Amino acid sequence: MNVVFIGGGSFRTLPVVRGALQDPGIFNAGEIRLVDFNLPRVETVARLIMRTPEFVKSGCRVTWTDKLERALPGADVVSVSFPVGSYQVNSLSEQACVRHGVFGSDQLSASGAMRAITGGTVLLGIARLMEKHCPKAWLFDFANPVAVYSGMVNNHTRIRALGICAGFNNHRWDLTRLLTGRDEWSDAFQDVAAAGVNHCSILLRGKWKGQDIYPQLDRIVNRKGWQPCRITTWPAADGEIGRKLRLMAEMRRRFGYVIFSTEPDGFAHLCPELYQQPDGGKVRLRSLAQIEKAARQLAASRAAQDLAFRAHLDRDLAPAFWAQDSLTNGWFAAAPEDAAAVVLRALSGRTREWLAAALPNRGAIRGFKDRTVVEYTLTLDKHGVHPDRDLEVPDCFHGVISALATHQTLLGDAIVTRDPRLLAQALYAYPLHQDERETRALWKQLLDIHRDEMPAVFQKTAAYC
């Protein structure tokens, strides 16, 4: 296959490519094409790929460029991964959400809606170029909000798109932590099915080591004095992940289900009071000067990381170096479980792969319009998408998930049409504190914060809020 990686200078590119190259047939006689505006960084990634043990056996080429039009002709898959919006704007946006009593993030949130308009304009341009240069290629989007972009591309262009995030692997961590009491990843799951929206899907059924998950989970979390395990693989996130595990147990007790992907903005919509106020609701807000200082520190840190990464070009990288796992060598370790590697194996025709993805519904989940963008578990192969059977969002969650799905679908529509009133309709569809005076004030404030990073026409949306 010929695969284009947009944002190819990212630190995650090398692990993904190594993970895919573990099956040498995927790229046999094909090309790995890296595209990035930062040519020195993307060249470093390319040259390091060519030094990996997997590349030697692959029979493919690696190229790099900062011109997307040069990379697209003849592509079979186009993978997109890049950050959306500046640090300063995104920080101000998320703080505005906090001040108005809602959750802010880069995906399923009020501030995520604004990032969608910013990044969606870029994604739509990529899809239009694909229509011209590689109309039969798949677009694989890892940039948030993935659901908005997948719905937009599938509903408004000739390109087939998959919106996938790392969340589809989270159950292998979080459920294993709950079921074993140990901080570890397990692949001993079978017949797992989930439905909802990205970051807010519901685990409908599944088995772990051949037995139904839910009865096993009940026996663990219903024990007197139960507490989640400590997080040793990522100590800095111990408190955050522990809180999510406790929320999963609480969801099971209250509703009979747990969330499939444990990103915080999903929890913030299903149980906002529990999620947003774990420590009395205290949130540390920063001044503009503090945010600007943090932005400078992050830029300096990234520059230092780039130098450290590039320095590996001048080193003798022995087999032991390449054999390290992701916990000890995250920039370089092979990641065959990464969503991008999974997708490439499936679309190449080498395997059939199970995953969860955001797509227009088209009959996959009962009770949703065909064009509404949702997330569901599926099997992917060279022939396309095959949804799991009997997918239906539980009644108690259907209202909020349907509203979120409609909200994200309308955001994609607004990006394509550049219709400010349609964007206002998308914001109105957002279900938390819907159409309250303070919520309308928040939308206007967010539009102003993102003014310089979105098409100017959308400032007219304030008149409809």
Q: What is the DSSP letter of 401?
A: H
8 A C-beta contact, residue 202 and residue 400: no
Q: What is the pLDDT of residue 462?
A: 97
Mean pLDDT of 119-136: 97
8 A C-beta contact, residue 374 and residue 364: yes
The answer to whether residue 33 sits within a structural domain is yes
DSSP 205-237: EEEETTEEHHHHHHHHHTSTT--PPP--SSGGG
The answer to whether residue 309 sits within a structural domain is no
pTM, whole model, 2 decimals?
Answer: 0.94
8 A C-beta contact, residue 443 and residue 465: yes
Residues with Cβ within 8 Å of 318's Cβ and at least 6 positions away in sequence, in order, are: none
Range of the domain at 80: 2-86+108-167+317-347
Q: What is the pLDDT of residues 205-217, one digit of tens each?
A: 999 999 999 999 9
Q: What is the pLDDT of residue 281?
A: 46
Q: What is the pLDDT of residue 407?
A: 98
The answer to whether residue 442 sits within a structural domain is no
Q: What is the pLDDT of residue 283?
A: 60
Asked if the model's pLDDT at residue 100 lies above 90, the reply is no
pLDDT grade for 101, boundaries at 50, 70 and 90: confident
Q: What is the pLDDT of residues 79-94, one digit of tens each?
A: 999 888 999 999 999 9
Q: What is the pLDDT of residues 411-442, one digit of tens each?
A: 999 999 999 999 999 999 999 999 999 999 99
The answer to whether residue 385 sits within a structural domain is no
The answer to whether residue 329 sits within a structural domain is yes
User: Per this entry, what is the length of the chain?
Assistant: 465
Q: What is the DSSP letter of 145?
A: S
Buried b / exposed e along 291-326 (16+ C-beta atoms within 10 A): beeebeeeeeeeeeebeebbebeeeeeeeeebeeeb
User: Following CA atoms 356, 184, 49, 123 in sequence, which dihedral angle do they give, to the nearest 10 degrees?
Assistant: 30
The answer to whether residue 391 sits within a structural domain is no
Q: Domains in the chain: how many in total?
A: 1
Handedness of CA 248, 251, 256, 258 (dihedral sign): negative
Q: What is the pLDDT of residues 141-186, one digit of tens each?
A: 999 999 999 999 999 999 999 999 888 888 899 999 999 999 999 9
pLDDT grade for 277, boundaries at 50, 70 and 90: low
Q: 37 is written with which tokens? A: 């505006």
pLDDT grade for 351, boundaries at 50, 70 and 90: very high
The answer to whether residue 131 sits within a structural domain is yes
| Cα–Cα distance, 138 to 278 (Å, whole number) | 41
Asked if the model's pLDDT at residue 282 lies above 60, the reply is no
| Cα–Cα distance, 356 to 204 (Å, whole number) | 13
Q: What is the pLDDT of residue 169?
A: 86
8 A C-beta contact, residue 153 and residue 124: yes
CATH number of the domain at 48, please. Answer: 3.90.1820.10
The answer to whether residue 306 sits within a structural domain is no
